[in-house]
A and B are shown apart, each in its own frame.
Chain A
């Protein structure tokens, strides 16, 4: 088991241009991370329009798609508006307020 407190979560968000859905997804995931993983995450936004070869390489068909890098987990597809699904998908333990 990894130690939650010391490990930083690496996240990749795949988008196809800065669409409204892409912006929503980015805002939503940043909100979740700032709330529950402050200082323990990094988020890279990857625009497939700029790097089209990554669609095949990373097996992305739907956008936005959020991928947790270490350890790799399931892909989360959509604008990430349902934060419960995002959190359970990323295995983020909610911080008690």
Chain B
């Protein structure tokens, strides 16, 4: 059994059963209440069955907790499809007696009611299957099907309350799915009172974009995130994106990572960025943002670390060519596998799909440094607020893994007139470097200025950035010891 029971924000230890669902264990601070009942409700197609399925499959695979799935609703094919959609070998789990799927046909056409009844038949069925399997997790999908078949509401109400209590006495961690009913969470409005945890799922389509949201309505005896958080159903199940409130738990990095330019390191206490922090490089077109980003990436490779470079504008070969003009050859780094360049078109998919792709690739490659170049291209995809919200989630995940993130932002005006995007992003970042171009007669001069850098002293001088065939360098930055401002 896998219980996590000493989360810092809980005064009393409430045993929790990890779902293994990406992000869900974060917003529940450790999982669902172990040995208790959770109600997952939402409208048709909201993903409640998938959530329940994944809870069982991951429980069986990752936490060695055998699971029983009782379906009242879907036809067998659709059910198998739901399981298969997660890409797990269900047959194998069933063979190994880690999973059992029981289908109970209840439909109004098949049942006639004459007088009062109990649900003891269901309890016997559950008891038998739980014993046979040694089940620790149980899913009932969905309760509404039972209600629909047995219309004697008062009788049924008592019986369903008894069912919840029975499951609790059994000590299994149960997920019961329920259909959302208009303004009420559930049609009969009492299941939520008898369950210990209630999760509401929502699926909306706005501007032809599908948006899924999850909210924890209640969690008896535990604190939980009260925010509505986005989630996606991908090819390996659900991905829930927690809000940045968790960011407060991040341990500030102590290790420093080079910017890739010795003179720029010098401007930052002679050491460079803090590990696990976020760096923003902003500037107009042609100011050298991508070059500065690539230099940072190569510095990671030089240290023998992996860097993942997301390019949202240029292809990998374009970046290679650009860097070659600066005398920098990316080929050896790419061949060694330490540098990975992934090019995505922002318009190619929705923001949340990008988010999933970014997090998935990061998970696969396990870099110490990530570059996103440029993040401003996402603004065409969603509003500034939405882009910020997406980036917040990326930052949150990367920070937790102490990955240093460098993102670039394209600005239109000069440095003194900040765009809405920059102002919005600036609150997210730890270090902000602004680049600009100045024309003096025939000459084009690139300038670099450290706008802010949290937790360290930094130079407040504007330096000139030289881009030559020998790479990037700064002039006019040599400062005496102790000349840093804070």
Contacts of B455 in A (CB 8 A): none
Q: Given A21-B116, A56-B102, A65 and B110 touching (CB < 8 A)?
A: no
Interface string of B101-118 (1 = CB under 8 A from A): 010111001111111111
Q: List the A side residues contacting B105 at CB < 8 Å.
A: 59
B146 at the interface (CB under 8 A from A): yes
Please, which residue of chain B has its CB at the minimum distance from the CB of A29? B114
- Give the shortest distance, in Å, between A77 (CB) and chain B (any CB): 5
A36 at the interface (CB under 8 A from B): no
Whether A64 contacts B128 by the Cβ 8 Å rule is no
Contact in complex: A85, B127 (CB < 8 Å)? no
> Do most interface residues of chain B lie in helix, strand or loop, or is the interface mixed?
mixed
Identity of the chain A residue whose Cβ is nearest the Cβ of B107 in the assembled complex: A74
Point out the residues of chain A lying under 8 angstroms from B117, CB to CB: 21, 62-65, 77-79
Tell me how many residues of B have a C-beta within 8 Å of chain A: 27
Taken together as a complex, chains A and B put the C-alpha atoms of A71 and B456 apart, in Å, by 84
Residues of B207-238 contacting chain A, CB below 8 A: none
Kindly identify, within residues 17 to 74 of chain A, every residue whose CB is under 8 Å from any CB belonging to chain B.
Answer: 17, 19, 21, 24-25, 28, 48-49, 52-53, 55-56, 59-65, 74
Chain B residue at smallest Cβ distance from A60: B121
Q: How many A-B residue pairs have CB under 8 A?
A: 105
User: How distant is the Cα of A63 from the Cα of B159 in the complex, in angstroms?
Assistant: 11
Known: A48-B120, A59-B104, A62-B150. A77 touches B125 (CB 8 A): no
- The interface on chain A, measured as residues whose beta carbon lies within 8 A of the other chain's beta carbons, has a size of 35
Instruction: Point out the residues of chain B lying under 8 angstroms from A17, CB to CB.
Output: 120
Whether, in the assembled complex, B418 has its beta carbon less than 8 Å from a beta carbon of chain A, the answer is no
A52 and B124 form a contact (CB under 8 A) = yes
- B118 near A62: Cβ-Cβ < 8 Å: yes
The answer to whether A61 touches B128, judged by C-beta atoms less than 8 angstroms apart, is: no
**From A14, A17, A61, residue with most partner B Cβ within 10 Å:** A61
Contact with A along B122-155 (1 / 0, CB 8 A): 1111011100000000000000001000101000
Contact A82–B124 (Cβ < 8 Å): no
Q: Which of B112, B127, B128 contacts A75 (CB 8 A)?
A: B112
- For A25, the chain B residues whose CB sits under 8 A away are 115
| Contact present for A74 and B111 (CB under 8 Å) | yes
**Inter-chain contacts of B152 with A (CB < 8 A):** 78
Minimum CB–CB distance for A11 against chain B, Å: 14
B127 A74 Cβ-Cβ under 8 A: no
| Residues of chain B with a CB closer than 8 A to A89's CB | 112, 114
For residue A28, which residues in chain B have a CB less than 8 angstroms away from its CB?
A: 115
A18 to B110 alpha-carbon distance, docked (Å): 25
CA distance A75 to B110 in the complex (A): 6
Cβ contacts A to B, 28 pairs, < 8 Å: A16-B123, A19-B118, A21-B115, A48-B120, A52-B128, A53-B128, A55-B128, A59-B104, A59-B105, A60-B121, A61-B106, A61-B119, A62-B117, A62-B122, A74-B110, A74-B111, A74-B112, A76-B112, A77-B114, A77-B150, A78-B114, A78-B115, A79-B114, A81-B114, A81-B116, A86-B112, A88-B112, A89-B114
